[in-house]
Amino acid sequence: MPFIEHVSDPDLERLALERVLPALLAHGFCSVDGLLGQPAGDAVLQRVTELHRSGALQDGRLAGSVPGVHRSRSIRGDQIAWVGGSERGCEAISFLLGRIDRLVSVCASRLGSKKIRERSKAMVACYPGNGAGYVKHVDNPNRDGRCITCIYYLNKNWSATEHGGVLRIFPEGKPYVADVKPLFDRLLFFWSDRRNPHEVLPSYATRYAVTVWYFDSEERAEAKRRFRDLTALQPGGGSR
């Protein structure tokens, strides 16, 4: 399985070229353990915990959902906040994003037609431990530009048997599933499109993660054009 363990102070370029990129191309996903190390990982965890306790996290919306329409917690049970990294007190999250940016940038130049030049803000997420999960889904089923999903986990002393919360990937065309435990200081990469349907199994302890999506700039631009065209066709959508 394409997992990398106990990377205490990684040479990010070598890690990207020798492990992450080959695993993405061969398997569609890759997990890196020990990305930041204990002190920096603890700092990210502390900030995420503070955001949670302050009430900054709100119920996550379903893709394509309409404001004002209640979502079903049986489909998606997490609470989220969007963080850019420049906010006061978010220096540790900014450091994390810089490390992920570096890994992805090294890989991006070797992905052929893919042109990855931007990413989303960080989605800080908490499953509150009440059996909440997220049913099987695809991050980018409709070519919205998302190319690579990166999830950084923050959960110490996590037992999949006791706490659940495993992310289960169903790689397209493969005879197996891949179960990824949401362990502290673990970073997971996978293709965001239909190659990697995945689900979060019910969590019975508080489960934290930080997710970012990297965009293929050409697909993203086309998705924005489609949205503008659709909006213009709606009543009150504006003139040409």
pLDDT at 231: 77
Cross-strand bridge partners of residue 213: 149
Residues of the chain with pLDDT under 50: 1, 5-9, 63-72, 239-240
pLDDT score at 73 = 57
pLDDT, position 103: 95
Helices (H), the chain: 12-15, 21-27, 38-53, 91-108, 160-163, 217-233
pLDDT of residue 215: 97
Angle between the N-to-C axes of helices 91-108 and 38-53, in degrees from 0 to 180, rounded to the nearest 10 = 120
pLDDT at 2: 53
Which residues, listed in sequence order, are joined to residue 155 by a DSSP beta bridge? 183
pLDDT, residue 229, reads: 83
CA distance 102 to 83: 18
Residues in the chain, total: 240
Contact (CB, 8 A) for 31 and 103: no
